[in-house]
Structure 1
Amino acid sequence: MHSYSARFFSPSASLFLLIFVLSGFAGLIYQSIWTHYLGLFLGHAAYAQALVLSLFMGGMALGAALVSRYVHAWKNLIKSYAIIEAIIGLLGLVFHAVFVFALDYSYNNVMPSLNNAGLIEAYKWLLASALIIPQTILLGMTFPLMCGGMIRRFPGNDGKTLGGLYFTNSIGAACGVLASTFLLLPLFGLPGAIFTAGVINILVALFAWWLSLGSEPTITPPTTIIKRNPATNKILITVLAATFFSSAASFAYEIIFVRMLSLAVGSTLHAFELMLAAFIAGIALGALWIRSKANATQTPLKIVGILQVLMGLTALLALAIYSEAFSWVSFLIDALSPTENGYKLFNIGTAILAIIIMLPTAFFAGTTLPLFTVALLQTGHGEKSIGKVYAWNTLGAILGVFAAIHLLIPLLGIKLSMLTAAFVDMAIGVVILRIFSEKRSDFFKTFSAITVTLASLAYIAIYVPFDSMRLSSGVYRTGIEQLDPAREVIFYRDGKTSSISVNYNVNTGIIAIATNGKIDAAIQMMDFNIPTFDEPTMVLAATLPLIYKPNAETAAVIGFGSGLTTHTLLAEENLLQVDTIEIEKVMIDGARTFRQMVPRAFDDARSNIVIDDAKSYFSSNQHRYDIIISEPSNPWISGVGALFSQEFYQFIPRFLNKDGIFLQWLQLYEIDEQLVSSVLQAMLPEFADVHAYLANNGDLLLVASQSELALNPQYERVLKGELGRTMEIVGFTKPEQIAFRKIADKRLLRSFSRMYTEFQANSDFYPILSLNAPSTRFQKKSALLLTSLPTMNLPIFEALKIRETPSLNVLMPKYRHLQADIEANEARTIVSFFDKNKSNTELVNLPIELRNWLELMITGNRECWKTTDDYGVFLATTIHQLTTLTVPYVDASGLHKVLHNQDFIKCEDLPEGIPLLLDFVEALAKRDTIETIKIGQYYLLNMDTQPHYLRNLDSFFLVATQLSLISLQDHDSAKEISKQYADKIKFMPEYSIIHSLLLAWLDE
């Protein structure tokens, strides 16, 4: 016995612990990656992770139970462990191929043949379970086998062995979580990550096989006399019941902690994995701490009783300090620069916050399993007890996960759910202390534990409020830890997947609905006040498909939000049914606060609200629609990126009727061009035609179809009747106003995506958005090229045959939702300024800088500066600016008093080159492409001889000439002129962007 005890600290013992670190590392890679895989099949709900966790723990429980039953018959447990690890590894290597085959076969063959929603749902859950249950059963066998093998080889150190293995396995798991998200997924995607885990398992198997060589002592099974001993049976029943409920409470903590912290740090993939790693790390440290104490006590259950009470207390303490989490995140947002490195530091700050709040509770959770197991080993229950305790522990985990998500949080809310879980832990401690009390001092400990439990629960329940003004703040986006006092929270409830809040701004009359603090939709509730920025997005999302598909009868909307999109669709009398699919039921409850503004969404008989995941619902019902509108939440939210993936865009056309219309909303704020390109690369190959519209300065609407879309849709049809009244509310009264929002066709979108190739297409298996969008959100980036397309200096949409430039008599909507609308209306004011038949009173409506510039332009021209060179600089600058302020927004007929007849220039002797510039912009304004090309080519050929004040406009001459060539379909000359002159000139920034976009367009 002594020699084996000494060997516990020998290198061979350390090697056993090392391979268990690697085993835990691979195990949590599986759990993390399986969550992504099965979520693709079952739906991207927040509880998809919980389902995987339950299957994971359930399989492990079964595996542990099998080992506990047969462990005494196996002569070499380490060798058995090696075989199990090898099988797990082989299954990991083939998992991706098996999953893809199963998914394709299910969608193409099984589901259509079942033709029953209930059967299809049952099939999905059974298949999902079948895909991972074999591996989880095998994973469940590894811990008891390794524990039993080491106890045989190093007897007399049961506590140290169990604690050491639990620690190494847990610390490896924590590292696996981080490596999976921050290293393997970005480098290799889902297939590469799970393949890596499989390789690690095989290496562990080989290493364990080598360590298993040689004899392994056997331990005599406990006798039946011990099994029938009432005292030992009492301990067995107590331990198994306690580990079951303790594990349930611990996993409830994990779910509740994640929901709590998501309100402060955001629901990103990175934040979730950091929280999970912090919780597992706490468990590991608890196991490390207890390993040296487990063998030193003869009363491990009494220690467990005390630790259970302390675990509940730390959970309550976490509630007490939780409100400071919002201050901490606010500090991080203010202190860190909005850069990539700043985001990395923000993640570190998030990890620190998770550690402070979660780790103490997780620490005590890590002490219980080793102590429960030691208690049974000390009473002679033998190796079987290891598997039994592990099995009941994992069964408790399943209960905790499902109880937290489906019962506690929806019924009680986050705070009371945490109080309930803490009460369970503390009650376990009190019961254990009471059962095993023998001395008077033990009764005192029990009484003290009861007093502390009740007092702490009462204090937290009464004096630690959950302030909805903080919980709804979205501090992780704004840096503001509490909503403005002008906002009144009129609805707040914790749902199964997220926390929904609705706030009303008493000053502006705006009601906004938010998910985990992130506003999803806002509506102006006061008559005659300016509509919110969200309203044109939701209204256009509904009307654009109706423009392209006027005979539509069925429609589906993914995401309910405020209900305005559904309400707008139902204004179309031809529609027979609109299915609105929302994953979170509480979102519907919160949206009822908008009911007076969106009554059709709730009250129209054609409105069918479905609580389900979109892909799951479509697959189960196999309905085909004329219109499908996808308005999910922002793609930086964990899981949402799958609704912008290549596989999703391959999936959607199966549920569209012939000539059906699919509309995709995509944010252009808190994202960059590279990520937008990854979405376009995913979407464009799957549809025959795609048109793009800007709803406001930050929302892109992509209209797609499997057939060619009409080049000039009948916009006027949505401006009549009830639908027209809804459009008028957000400012649309003329067809040209809707057409003006069009910014791209499929060719231009392809050209844009080719300009930004840092990322490949966003895919379910290579989740570009989920991994990178949280960083662009933190950096407050925007996809500026797309948002600025309609305000470019030249009429690029005319040249590329995307849309016509509106006539002078068409005013854009008066609301300042879109910068191009503002500049188009300013262009009309400028035209009237140069029209002598009109007054200049409208100048007061222009920004002061623009008004001053116009007045200076007229004054400067009237005075005819004495210094010719200075006058040349002034004229070159002002003529160019006048061109860029008017030509992109007004058609040729509307510019005859501005750039056609330039009688505002009074001087007879103009500086050198200015007449050439005037002729060029006049041709450009007239849309006289032949003359524009002629003058432009002359200028470029002789630009070296031009005065310096014109040389600043080299890129203007080049790009305008190139556009004119394109408008004449002379693409070869447009390419050639770029090759000939682009390297010789210094581009102004905006013309550089247009030039790059045109080159990409010409390369089609």
Structure 2
Amino acid sequence: MLSQRRQFQIACILVVLSGAASLSHQLLWTNRMTDLLGASAASVARVFGCFFLGLSVGAGVMGWKISRVKHPWRWLACAEFAVALMCLPILWLSHWTDWIWPWLGLDGLLGWQGASIKWMLSMGVVFFPAMAMGTTLPIIIKGVSLASALRSQFSVWLYALNTLGGLLGLGITGCLTLYVFGISGAMMLAIGINICVGMIALWVDRKSKIIDNHVRRDLVPDGGVLATLGQIGWKASSTAFASGFLILALEILAMDLVMLIAPLSFHAPLAVLGAVIFTLALSASCIPLLGTKWRRSSQWIMLLLAAAGILAAAGPYWFVQSAMNTEGGLLVDSLFSFTRSLVFTVLLSFGPCILLGGFIFPSLLGMIPDKCEKSNAVGFLLAFNGLGGLLGAEFTYGLLMPMLGVYLGVGVVAVIYVLMAFLWVQWNSKRKPVFANLAVFGALLITAVSFFWLRQLPVVNPNMGLKILELDSGREGNLAVVEHENFGRGLLFSNQYLLGSTNVGYDQERQAHIPLMLHGEPKHVCFVGLATGITPSAALQHSMVEKIDVVELSSMVTRAAGTHFADFNAHIIQDPRAHVYVEDGRTFIASQRDQYDVIVSDLFLPWRPGVGRLYSAEHFQSTRNALRSGGLYCHWLPLYQFTKEQLDLVLRTFQSVYPKVYLFEGKLQLDAPVLGLVGFKSGDLKWEELQDACRRERLAGDIKDPTVRWLQGLAMLFRGTIHSDVQYENINTLNNMKLELQSGLDRMIDPEGSKYLTGISWLSLAQNYLQKNAQRGYPNIIQDYPLKGMKISVLSERIKQGGETKNSSLREIFTQMPEAMFKDQYSDWKRWAGAEISVRWKPKTD
């Protein structure tokens, strides 16, 4: 027979393990469901909402039914086994859901059917196991029977340990098991933890006596749920709700702020979430150490709420000062130092507020009346707290950030904290002492005044010298339309990544021209990624194109492209030939079958969360399925954001679907090279047909870029062919997330990008590709123009550097061009792929 104290010790271990498994599952579920539902903010919010709703409902059900449980340890085992069992559909999610989007089709995906299926999948796959998770803490508290002197503290200790377990699960999964075992392996380990907790619970059940519910009948009110809630008090219930609401709102706002300075990687949100959970666990651990007088004092809650409001209002100021001191970035040399730096930034800025706000919920647990059954009360309070967290997140994403922005959003949270303090003064102070009212009024005044300087804090780094035309905030983050003399007008995402700009518009157009010319007769084409809209707008210049589909993940980007870049993108959003869809690119393509002649994927940031899916073997296979016979897929790679190892990984992955890969460079310059991987669904590239296509488009007269008007110009961009029938195993998949994880690490450790393929490093690799193809021989029709193109890239760099060799380099560039191309008076040489050169004539327009 186990003693009560031994049961409590075992319960402490189990609650840590259960919390670790829960947060590990939540992280893995979000990634796995994103694979299915898409990486849009709405999909992520849907999964997040189902998870929190499940936790809340599970805790509430236990608050209702726990008083009737005679075998709590047995119930715990059942709950953990249920979590493990219900995780199996998520484990094999891709195996039983691959057919859904192709069966549904594009109209169904974008219509009510698609939204309904996404909700049903989220509820069916996430809600029910999360509901089982929500039952575990009340059950464990029910199973622990301690001496009466400890009854007011043990539930708080268990809550603190459960929170700490969540932190451990998050850290181990995000920093270790995902790298070693992939998503499936990490999920199996989490399932294994659930099974171990269940087995230990069954052993404890055998070694402990049955709880006689009639012994403590005085703790179970006759009125059922309403009577139990009456014992808890509506003040405590509403404060538990408000605590969850405000903590989740503050966490989201803090994460949005931190992403302004942290690399847009998988690891940054984990570090922020880890800092918040650590602070909450610390807060809960401190509550039992306080005297009973403080723990049960209404003035204590009032003080916490008021102080949390003041500190929340000060958080953005401390954050901006910290960012200024680090010049808007984080200098690190390892994953550990990155996590440490980011956690320190979060704790410095928002840690004091979260620490005090984190005292509130465990204080409510410690204030549960002795006459009330602990497990029932904890269940109901957890339910209210979880429901508040869910609504707080939706309120922040749906209203605060879009309407007020991140800084004023924090100000609103601060005011709500102080208003709750005012309500506690009115509810709980019989004499309503003057000092309490004055203190709360002072706090309210401070938070209200903070709005004036919160409005002045910058979202875009003021040291960048940008002119801000518009700033938009939403679920996706922050998007600014900016102007600068170096790049013209551009889209700046989260203060650190330029989605596109007008000064390189001709290079962006060429990323459409090249694959469309390679096909020869493209009629229905698709572009994955809109950004400024300049790339897909180039398709309007092609005489054969009849219909253009553009899919863009962000509605903010779509609005900005239509409002601020219409003059640069030929008003493509309003053009009747074009259709812009706001949807996840992978999901959109997966819903198509035999639709497109050409699919073009834009330049995607490889370390941005969720973007690695667009470099996966599964996505490449979806593009192949979406192509018509003879169609081609072109995926552009920003080599200035890739290392050699990452490029090789993507090439192997691409070859696993398209065995023969044609490499085309986007421009004849080495400073920020882009490389197009081109694969045909059937057939090969026919250079004779490409020559005919060039001749046809020259006659049509809409395309002015001399590089793509002539076969020799396209040949100059050609970097060779890679052909292999070997089925590689070391490729990037949805399960292993190799590219996203590794590129995120490299970005953190090497923010200057010393290993990225630019300048000499790309020149050396490109020459290696060309030499291998030269040994096999180029087609006679293109002669040695690929080698000449590489030489022009070197000469272009010399021209940029200036000096005595500039003029001689310009003359030598002309010697590399065919005479017909150079004398083409209908070309606009400002659009030329190499360094800027001048000709003696202006392009003809007739």
Q: Above 0.5 in TM-score? A: yes
Q: Secondary structure at the match of 2:735?
A: coil
Superposed displacement of residue 186, structure 1: 0.3
- Answer yes or no: is the 8 Å Cα contact 2:663–2:677 preserved in 1: yes
After superposing the two structures, state which structure 1 stretch, 385-394 or 356-365, moved more. Answer: 356-365
CA distance in 2, matches of 1:229, 1:64: 16
- Answer yes or no: is the 8 Å Cα contact 2:798–2:809 preserved in 1: no
- Alignment-derived partner of residue 756 in structure 2: 782
- Answer yes or no: is the 8 Å Cα contact 1:46–1:498 preserved in 2: no
- Alignment-derived partner of residue 799 in structure 1: 775
- Alignment-derived partner of residue 355 in structure 2: 363
- Answer yes or no: is the 8 Å Cα contact 2:86–2:129 preserved in 1: yes
1:115-264 mapped onto 2 (5 Å cutoff): 117-150=111-144, 152-212=145-205, 213-215=207-209, 216=211, 218=213, 219-220=216-217, 222=219, 224=221, 233=230, 236-264=233-261
1:77 to 72, 78, 93: 72
Do residues 630 (structure 1) and 630 (structure 2) align?
no
Do residues 701 (structure 1) and 693 (structure 2) align?
no
- Alignment-derived partner of residue 912 in structure 1: none
Superposed displacement of residue 95, structure 1: 4.0
Residues 283 and 97 (structure 1), Cα distance of their counterparts in 2 relative to 1, 3 Å cut? closer
Residues 468 and 535 (structure 1), Cα distance of their counterparts in 2 relative to 1, 3 Å cut? farther
After superposing the two structures, state which structure 1 stretch, 548-557 or 323-332, moved more. Answer: 323-332
Do residues 550 (structure 1) and 547 (structure 2) align?
no
Corresponding residue pairs, total: 797
- Alignment-derived partner of residue 515 in structure 1: 493
Q: What is the aligned-residue identity percentage?
A: 18
- Answer yes or no: is the 8 Å Cα contact 2:720–2:770 preserved in 1: no
- Alignment-derived partner of residue 999 in structure 1: none
- Alignment-derived partner of residue 761 in structure 1: 731
Q: Which amino acid aligns with 2:776?
A: L
- Answer yes or no: is the 8 Å Cα contact 1:58–1:395 preserved in 2: yes
CA distance in 2, matches of 1:246, 1:195: 33
- Alignment-derived partner of residue 667 in structure 1: 638
Q: Secondary structure at the match of 2:470?
A: strand
CA distance in 2, matches of 1:111, 1:793: 40
- Alignment-derived partner of residue 655 in structure 1: 626
- Answer yes or no: is the 8 Å Cα contact 1:544–1:703 preserved in 2: no
Do residues 315 (structure 1) and 293 (structure 2) align?
no
Superposed displacement of residue 96, structure 1: 4.9
- Alignment-derived partner of residue 834 in structure 2: none
Residues 185 and 231 (structure 1), Cα distance of their counterparts in 2 relative to 1, 3 Å cut? closer
Q: Secondary structure at the match of 2:53?
A: helix
- Answer yes or no: is the 8 Å Cα contact 1:306–1:433 preserved in 2: no
Q: Which amino acid aligns with 2:412?
A: T
- Answer yes or no: is the 8 Å Cα contact 2:470–2:481 preserved in 1: yes
- Answer yes or no: is the 8 Å Cα contact 2:287–2:295 preserved in 1: no
- Answer yes or no: is the 8 Å Cα contact 1:807–1:890 preserved in 2: no
- Alignment-derived partner of residue 858 in structure 1: none
Residues 512 and 268 (structure 1), Cα distance of their counterparts in 2 relative to 1, 3 Å cut? same
- Answer yes or no: is the 8 Å Cα contact 2:604–2:637 preserved in 1: no
Do residues 400 (structure 1) and 392 (structure 2) align?
yes
Superposed displacement of residue 586, structure 1: 1.3
Q: Secondary structure at the match of 1:574?
A: coil
After superposing the two structures, state which structure 1 stretch, 222-231 or 731-740, moved more. Answer: 222-231
- Alignment-derived partner of residue 436 in structure 2: 445
CA distance in 2, matches of 1:809, 1:268: 39
- Alignment-derived partner of residue 845 in structure 1: 807
Q: Which amino acid aligns with 2:482?
A: N
Superposed displacement of residue 16, structure 1: 1.7
- Answer yes or no: is the 8 Å Cα contact 1:688–1:706 preserved in 2: no
Q: Secondary structure at the match of 1:465?
A: coil
Q: Secondary structure at the match of 2:607?
A: coil
- Answer yes or no: is the 8 Å Cα contact 1:676–1:783 preserved in 2: no
- Note the alpha carbon deviations across 1:2-55, whole angstroms, 9 max, x for none: xx9xx88x5543332122111111111000000110001111124544332211
Do residues 353 (structure 1) and 323 (structure 2) align?
no
Q: Which amino acid aligns with 2:683?
A: E
- Note the alpha carbon deviations across 1:426-480, whole angstroms, 9 max, x for none: 2222212211111343x4313321321232232244356221441xxxxxxxxxx
Residues 462 and 260 (structure 1), Cα distance of their counterparts in 2 relative to 1, 3 Å cut? same
Superposed displacement of residue 62, structure 1: 1.3
Residues 45 and 723 (structure 1), Cα distance of their counterparts in 2 relative to 1, 3 Å cut? farther
Superposed displacement of residue 375, structure 1: 3.3
Residues 668 and 804 (structure 1), Cα distance of their counterparts in 2 relative to 1, 3 Å cut? farther
Residues 702 and 620 (structure 1), Cα distance of their counterparts in 2 relative to 1, 3 Å cut? closer
CA distance in 2, matches of 1:810, 1:383: 74
- Answer yes or no: is the 8 Å Cα contact 1:583–1:613 preserved in 2: yes
- Alignment-derived partner of residue 416 in structure 1: 408
Residues 403 and 99 (structure 1), Cα distance of their counterparts in 2 relative to 1, 3 Å cut? same
After superposing the two structures, state which structure 1 stretch, 342-351 or 305-314, moved more. Answer: 342-351
CA distance in 2, matches of 1:231, 1:642: 48
1:580 to 523, 526, 550: 550
Q: Which amino acid aligns with 1:245?
A: A
Residues 637 and 331 (structure 1), Cα distance of their counterparts in 2 relative to 1, 3 Å cut? closer
Q: Secondary structure at the match of 2:217?
A: coil
- Alignment-derived partner of residue 837 in structure 2: none
Superposed displacement of residue 103, structure 1: 1.4
CA distance in 1, matches of 2:142, 2:398: 37
Q: Secondary structure at the match of 1:744?
A: strand
- Note the alpha carbon deviations across 1:665-706, whole angstroms, 9 max, x for none: 112123212212222222212125421111143211112221
Superposed displacement of residue 100, structure 1: 2.7
Residues 319 and 735 (structure 1), Cα distance of their counterparts in 2 relative to 1, 3 Å cut? same
- Answer yes or no: is the 8 Å Cα contact 1:671–1:776 preserved in 2: no
After superposing the two structures, state which structure 1 stretch, 255-264 or 404-413, moved more. Answer: 404-413
Q: Which amino acid aligns with 1:317?
A: A
Superposed displacement of residue 564, structure 1: 0.7
2:12 to 17, 20, 28: 17
Superposed displacement of residue 806, structure 1: 6.9
Residues 732 and 137 (structure 1), Cα distance of their counterparts in 2 relative to 1, 3 Å cut? same
Aligned Cα root-mean-square deviation (Å): 3.6
- Note the alpha carbon deviations across 1:621-676, whole angstroms, 9 max, x for none: 76822222111530111111011001111222222222222111112123212212
CA distance in 1, matches of 2:226, 2:380: 18
Residues 787 and 648 (structure 1), Cα distance of their counterparts in 2 relative to 1, 3 Å cut? farther
Q: Which amino acid aligns with 1:117?
A: G
Superposed displacement of residue 125, structure 1: 2.1
Do residues 745 (structure 1) and 721 (structure 2) align?
yes
Do residues 282 (structure 1) and 279 (structure 2) align?
yes
- Answer yes or no: is the 8 Å Cα contact 1:159–1:371 preserved in 2: no
Superposed displacement of residue 354, structure 1: 2.3
- Note the alpha carbon deviations across 1:712-750, whole angstroms, 9 max, x for none: 1515745876998775458655431221111122328x8
After superposing the two structures, state which structure 1 stretch, 254-263 or 33-42, moved more. Answer: 254-263
- Answer yes or no: is the 8 Å Cα contact 1:244–1:392 preserved in 2: yes
- Answer yes or no: is the 8 Å Cα contact 1:162–1:291 preserved in 2: no
CA distance in 1, matches of 2:348, 2:806: 57
In structure 1, stretches of 5+ residues that fail to align are 471-481, 525-530, 813-817, 829-840, 852-884, 892-1004
Superposed displacement of residue 402, structure 1: 1.6
TM-score (norm 1): 0.73
Q: Which amino acid aligns with 1:101?
A: H
Residues 447 and 725 (structure 1), Cα distance of their counterparts in 2 relative to 1, 3 Å cut? farther
CA distance in 2, matches of 1:353, 1:668: 31
CA distance in 1, matches of 2:357, 2:730: 42
